[in-house]
């Protein structure tokens, strides 16, 4: 087994205490976004299609969304220590997100955290939002950012992968990761799919366990 460990983490609901994309839709989109979300949760459509359709319903200016994010989104306050821990131990820590770059990058700047990240790209056009997928896998149309692709790239470089996540879009990498940290819907999905995982609530829990993995 390769000895080097790398950590890949989700952003929404994992680094943040709540799902930012969902909070934005709840506030700025008509309630019909839930019809699309239900199709997604029933795995009838992928994340790429659900995000595009949900955000197409939204009519808001980027500045209003940023103001909302600043007022409502809270970081897991133990994530900063975890990032510093990984840096000290020379454990690569990267974000793979099915969220949108305008709020992920804004929050990372505000928190003064610099980490490699892959996320979807929001294009604001006359009050609506179109989404582009710079990190998609050309052979799969389900997801926007392919979290699995980054996992395989790191594995090719000789890393064991610990994956940290909370939702549906984390199932693909959880199936392949060497160590899985799961909460909320991801924990339920891991139970259903019989994927072994370590429960966590905050990154302090992840850090305690990663110590034993290095």
**Which chain residues interact with Mg ion by CB under 5 A?**
10, 12-13, 166-167
Of the pair 199, 214, the CB lying nearest Mg ion is at 199
The Cα–Cα gap between 14 and 163 comes to 11
By beta-carbon proximity to Mg ion, the closer residue of 144 and 167 is 167
Smallest distance from the beta carbon of 4 to Mg ion, in angstroms?
26
Nearer to Mg ion, 89 or 105 (CB): 105
For residue 96, what are its two tokens?
């793979």
Nearest residue (CB) to Mg ion, 149 versus 185: 185
Q: Which is nearer to Mg ion, 9 or 207 (CB)?
A: 9
Q: How far is CA 209 from CA 43, 98, 130, 205, in A?
A: 31, 25, 39, 7
Question: What is the smallest separation between the CB atom of 96 and Mg ion, expressed in angstroms?
Answer: 10
**What number of residues does the chain have?**
214
Q: Which residues contact 119 (CB under 8 A, 6 or more apart)?
A: 11, 95, 96, 97, 98, 99, 100, 101, 104, 105, 135, 145
Alpha-carbon distance 88 to 99, whole Å? Answer: 28
Nearest approach, Cβ of residue 20 and Mg ion (Å): 9
Neighbour count for residue 73 (Cβ, 10 Å): 20
* Shortest distance in whole angstroms from residue 189 CB to Mg ion: 12
CB of 175 to Mg ion, least distance (A): 16
Give how far Cα 190 sits from Cα of 48, 82, 146, 148, 169, Å: 22, 24, 19, 16, 12
3-state class (DSSP) for residue 25: helix
Nearer to Mg ion by Cβ, of 10 and 101: the residue is 10
Least gap, CB of 59 to Mg ion (angstroms): 24
């Amino acid at each position: 087994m390769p000895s080097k460990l790398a950590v890949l983490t989700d952003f929404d609901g994992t680094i943040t205490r709540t799902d930012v994309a969902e909070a934005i839709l709840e506030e700025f989109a008509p309630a019909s976004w839930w019809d699309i979300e239900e199709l997604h949760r029933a795995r009838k459509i992928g994340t790429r299609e659900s995000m595009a359709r949900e955000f197409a319903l939204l009519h808001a200016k980027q500045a209003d969304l940023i103001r909302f994010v600043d007022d409502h989104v809270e970081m897991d306050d133990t994530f900063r220590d975890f990032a510093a821990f990984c840096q000290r131990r020379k454990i690569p820590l990267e974000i793979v997100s099915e969220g949108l770059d305008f709020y992920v990058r804004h929050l990372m700047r505000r928190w003064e955290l610099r980490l490699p990240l892959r996320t979807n790209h929001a294009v604001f056009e006359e009050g609506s939002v179109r989404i582009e997928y710079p990190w998609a896998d050309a052979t799969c149309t389900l997801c926007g950012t392919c979290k699995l692709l980054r996992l395989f790239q790191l594995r090719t470089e000789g890393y064991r992968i610990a994956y940290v996540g909370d939702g549906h879009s984390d199932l693909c990498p959880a199936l392949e990761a060497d160590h899985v940290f799961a909460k909320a819907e991801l924990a339920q999905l891991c139970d259903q799919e019989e994927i072994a995982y370590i429960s966590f609530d905050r990154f302090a829990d992840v850090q305690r366990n990663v110590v034993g993995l290095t």
